[in-house]
Structure 1
Amino acid sequence: MNAPAPAGAKVRAVVGLLVAFELVSGFLQGAAVPLVPQIQDWQGISTGQAQWFTTVQYLAAAISVPAFGRLGDLYGHRRLIRVALGSIALGTVLVACAPNLAVLLVGRALMGPLAALLPLEIGLVRDRLSVDGGRRAVGMLVGSLTLGTVLGHALAGPLLSLLGDLRATLVALAVLAVCCVALSFVAVPESRTRAGGRMDWSGAALLALALVLLLGTVSRGTAWGWLSAPTLGGLLLAAVLLTGWARLQLARPHALVDVRALARRHSAPYYASGFVLGGVMLGGQTVAVSFMAASPADEGYGFDLAPWQISLYGVVPNVMAFAGSALCAALAVKIGYRRLLLVAFALLAAGYAGQIVGHSALVPFAACGALVGVGAGFALGGLPTVIVERSATDRTASATAVYNNLKTLGGSVGGAAFSVALGSLVIGTTDTPALTAYLAIWTGAAVACALAVLAQLAFRGKESTPAEPAAAPVPAAARPAPPGP
């Protein structure tokens, strides 16, 4: 009789190509922003129109993530990973061949399931691995996504220079996506557990409408004016739709999202922490960059760094985030995930507070940015794991999808709030942000992260350990998948 494969080998066998998918996913997402100016010139579009190049993808993600998560729980995570990769590949091909803005935006919308890959992969590894193996796998996947994003952002420009043509660069990205589709049929195992019930299509449609309205309104709030009728009306209507959607979910036996589980005292703080993480991490991506570019002689603050210097210092938090997410599982074995998340948000709060104190000197400022990166990495690796382990076994992808959407929503709200601060707190009659704008942003970020720590302390539950079962038992209605790899 052959000896069983060691646990580490089993983790690698299950994760395998999923790591490659997340690297490519991060690369595609990270490469998008640096290419926007060239996209604008290529298509002959305005700056406002070019903004939709990135906006339309996260609007599509808001729609696709919860739907793909629930469909994966119902019909198999590998199957939906293949569907998501197919949509992404088609989207990248359309973007590379786009003859006009309309086709370009359709292609970007088809790339929305990039955000659905991670929830589906987490659902798969939780089903196929032990608790300890699943935790290590989640850390590897999150770390790969983070590393891919860093590489995409850093290498998009050099790739464009090497190929000498934007369309050739976009074709190269499309080739990566198409290769992922082919690889998904090679050595990716299928999950064995299926959720009971059926897909809540009307609930998915109502949630999609509410999220698109909310995120679309937030993204246009600065242009329309935050107190204008379109902005206030859009926010109010989105709130009404979300309230109606929540009531509908509570009344349905096979709802798209388990709203009751979302609101439980032992899981709600972690979903809320995901919202905070999105707000400070995604919403504040350009704040430190614009501060470092400011000139002390002109604005009275900043470091007057050249673009290459900003890239050098700006990559430090991303590298630290990758390191934090990669080390997350190993550290959690020693102190537990609940304590690790307390450390993560304490580091985030300390990092932002340190930027307030050390904003006048580059080295302390960069060191505090690195601290923020480590905290973000721990949070990125730890939050999905805790949320997954506190969800029902047949709701893994759905629960992770809700976390992803809350993180994205937090990024939109945080970005809008930071834009208001930068546009309102200005120097004299100019439109140049004053130092108080940056201090206000970092203060708000530090307070939000401190509140996340307090929420986790106030509603903490029993610390899970690798020896425990993954989570709630599979419901009687859940049906096994057909045998297979």
Structure 2
Amino acid sequence: MTAPGKPDGCPTARTTSPPPQAKVAAVVGLLVAFELVSGLLQGAAPPLIPEVEKWQHLSTAQAQWFTTVQFFAAAVSVPAFGRLGDLYGHRRLVRVALGCVAVGTVLVALAPNLPVLLLGRALMGPLAALLPLEIGLVRDRLDVDGGRRAVGLLVGALTLGSLLGHALVGPLLSAVGGLRPTLAVLAALAVGCLVVSFLAIPESAVQATGRMDWAGAVLLAVALVTLLGTISRGTAWGWLSPRTLAAVALSCALLWWWARVQLSRPHALVDLRAVARRRAAPYYASGFVLGVVMMGGQGVAVSFLAASPGDEGYGFGLVTWQISVWGAIPHVMAFLGSLLCAGIAARIGYARTLLGAFALIAVGNAGLMAAHSTLPLFAVAYGAVGIGMGLALGGLPSVVVEGSTSDRTASAAAVYNNLKTLGGSVAGAVFAAVLATLVVGTTDTPTLTAYLTVWGLGIAVSVLAAGAQLLVRRSAWQRASAVEGAGRPAN
């Protein structure tokens, strides 16, 4: 007999007895600490690029690989780590991920040359796999409400850690006297997390049966690296150049081939039929949109804050420390939104919460357009975007995971995470193309229209995501009506 909510033919799951509730609370605390450090490591990387450039005597283009290599490694490792966690235990894979990150941070701190530095950054890719694995741990150890609060705390810790990493790495660099000591401090944090992971974390109560789809993992990795690599080089190659178009076509062909393989396998890396279900697909699509507005839009806003009204004719002419202060507003609001998400959803439901989240993002982007000449109002609008992002960050992983079968928890969260990352990559390329196309005369300075266009695109995709939540609500209402009608006695 098939488990409730599980399609026929799916493998059953192995189940062990859950630990006492008091121990679970302690475990959630440790996982929150891991996410705080994960966010700090990720947030500290971009501000360190200029120092890495000087340290390794790199060109500006070469220095960008300091973040790009980890980004590619994350895209490759997250689906594999998620499925391996479902099969062999989420705690085990959390430790493996932390081990990779610890080794990577140590290599980065001690790197004698660029190849070793990039190897270390690649080994840090599984940082992005921690959250899906941790969600898998808390789902089968807590009740529904406790799991939702735990996801909000984990996402909030990741958001806060990213903010702290970005804000504190500069003062840390000055305090410890250089780049290598700073990297050593970050490595010590990563190694400390690995040690702590062996103290008090119980294994998952539910584990899937079956085997790992290594061929599917390799094929997906090749497809994603091809696609993301093309996006990262699109501006340099030219978006309509034969090389770019050929690489995009190859990426699409590889993804199509991978999808065909997944649909034909009983133990696929990703359950595409579950992802494409009417109740699940809008949430995954909304994850892609969240990546567009969250990752793609941040750099645009920072550029606008730095632009000078006297030189470009728009912007606020802020210096670096002022940008850090004003730019922290959406991060702080996102942190608060992720913490409040579970409580709000308990009162009005996740569909309405997510509808409100993307409505806030749309309204906030409209506010950025309307208040582009008044800094306080611009900050208020930026804060509205941040609250919306926080609510979406806290809500989407919960509904994605709750809609998956118990033996696909981390896999479902990993697919959502990769779609969010892919949305940010695509948006970064599209927004960069807009800013490079709509320029002042023959210069490379973007016009005000370029920024307004980017925020307009943010409104458009947010409205689409809000519409997706309405579709979910309508589908739920129709099911409820059908059940109610079936239960009525015939006249």
| TM-score over 0.5 for the pair | yes
Q: Which residue of 1 aligns with 2:292?
A: 279
Give CA-to-partner distance per residue, 1:203-234, whole Å, 9 cap, x none.
00000000000011101111111111221111
Question: Aligned AA for 1:48?
Answer: A
Tell me which of 379, 382, 402 is aligned to 1:366: 379
Larger CA deviation: 85-94 vs 223-232 = 223-232
Structure 2 residue identity aligned to 1:98 = A
Letter in 2 for 1:266: R
Secondary structure of residue in 2 paired with 1:194:
strand
| Alignment partner of 1:401 is 2:400 | no
RMSD (Å), alpha carbons = 1.3
In the alignment, is residue 67 of structure 1 matched against residue 85 of structure 2? no
1:88 corresponds to which letter in structure 2?
V
C-alpha separation in 2, matches of 1:368 and 1:10: 42
- Could you tell me which of 297, 318, 336 is aligned with 1:323? 336
Q: Is the 8 A contact 1:84 1:113 kept in 2?
A: yes
Q: Output the CA distance in 2 between the equivalents of 1:221 and 1:178.
A: 37
| Runs of 4 or more consecutive aligned structure 1 residues displaced over 3 Å after TM superposition | 4-7, 459-463
Are positions 1:462 and 2:476 aligned together?
Answer: yes
**TM-score with structure 1 setting the length:** 0.93
- Report the AA paired with residue 218 of structure 2: A
User: Deviations along 1:333-367, whole A, 9 cap, x unmatched?
Assistant: 11111110000000000000111111111111110
CA contact (8 A) 1:321 1:377 kept: yes
Identity %: 69
Q: Is the 8 A contact 1:326 1:381 kept in 2?
A: yes
Matched, 1:244 2:250: no
Classify 1:257/1:152 alpha carbon distance in 2 versus 1 (closer, same or farther; 3 Å).
same
1:176 partner amino acid: L
- 2:161 is aligned, of 148, 154, 157, to 148
Q: Provide the residue aligned with 1:37 in structure 2.
A: 50
The match for 2:482 is none
* Alignment deviations for residues 55-96 of structure 1 (CA, whole Å, 9 cap, x no partner): 111100011000000000000000000000000000000100
Aligned to 2:13: none
For the residues of structure 2 that align with 1:11 and 1:339, how far apart are their CA atoms? 29
How far off is 1:386 after superposition? 0.5
User: Following TM superposition, by how much is the alpha carbon of 1:16 offset from its aligned partner in structure 2, in angstroms?
Assistant: 2.0
Check the 8 A contact 2:19/2:202 in 1, yes or no: no
Within the candidate set 93, 96, 114, 1:101 is matched to 114
**Any gaps of 5 or more consecutive residues in structure 2?**
1-17, 478-491
- Kindly indicate whether the alpha-carbon contact (under 8 Å) linking 1:138 and 1:385 is maintained by their aligned counterparts in 2: yes
Given that 1:94 and 1:107 are in contact with CA atoms closer than 8 Å, whether structure 2 keeps it comes out as: yes
Give the match for residue 128 of structure 1: 141
Question: Which residue number corresponds to residue 192 of structure 1?
Answer: 205
Cα distance in 1 between the residues matched to 2:319 and 2:66: 26
Q: State how far apart, in whole Å, the 1-side matches of 2:87 and 2:308 are.
A: 55
Distance 2:243 2:111 in 1: 31
Three-state SS of the structure 2 residue aligned to 1:282 is helix
Partner residue, 1:483: none
Structure 1 distance, partners of 2:237, 2:159, is 33
Who is 1:232 aligned against? 245
Q: Is the 8 A contact 1:16 1:188 kept in 2?
A: no
SS in 1 for 2:444: coil
2:381 pairs with 1:377 = no
Deviation at 1:10, TM superposition (A): 5.7
Give distance in 1, aligned partners of 2:146 and 2:124: 30
Contact 1:11 1:137 in 2 (8 A): no
Change (3 A) 1:364 1:6: farther
Q: Any stretches of 5+ residues in structure 1 without a counterpart? A: 464-485
Distance 1:306 1:94 in 2: 33
Counterpart of 1:284 in 2: which secondary structure?
helix
Checking the alignment, whether the CA contact within 8 Å between 1:11 and 1:133 is kept in structure 2 is: no
1:417 aligns with 2:430: yes
Which of 441, 444, 465 in structure 2 is aligned with 1:452?
A: 465
Residue type of the alignment partner of 1:339: R
Q: Provide TM-score, normalisation by structure 2.
A: 0.92
Cα distance in structure 1, aligned partners of 2:288 and 2:129: 17
Distance 1:346 1:48, change over 3 A: same
| Residue of structure 2 aligned with 1:88, choices 66, 79, 101 | 101
Distance (whole Å) between structure 2 residues aligned to residue 446 and residue 300 of structure 1: 24
2:403 maps to 1:390: yes
Tell me the matched-pair count.
459
Q: What is the Cα deviation at residue 306 of structure 1?
A: 1.7
CA distance in structure 2 between the partners assigned to 1:10 and 1:100 by the alignment: 45
Following superposition, the deviation at residue 11 of structure 1 comes to 5.1
Per-residue Cα deviation, 1:253-292 (whole angstroms, up to 9, x for no partner): 0100000011111110110000000011111221111101
Contact 1:14/1:128, CA 8 A, preserved across alignment: no
d(CA) in 2 for partners of 1:29, 1:12: 26
Letter in 2 for 1:358: A
Which residue identity lines up with residue 190 of structure 1 in the other structure? E
- Asked whether the 8 Å contact 2:351–2:472 carries over to 1, the reply is no
Cα shift at 1:5: 11
- Are residue 426 (structure 1) and residue 439 (structure 2) matched? yes
Q: Which of 429, 433, 436 is matched with 2:449 structurally? A: 436
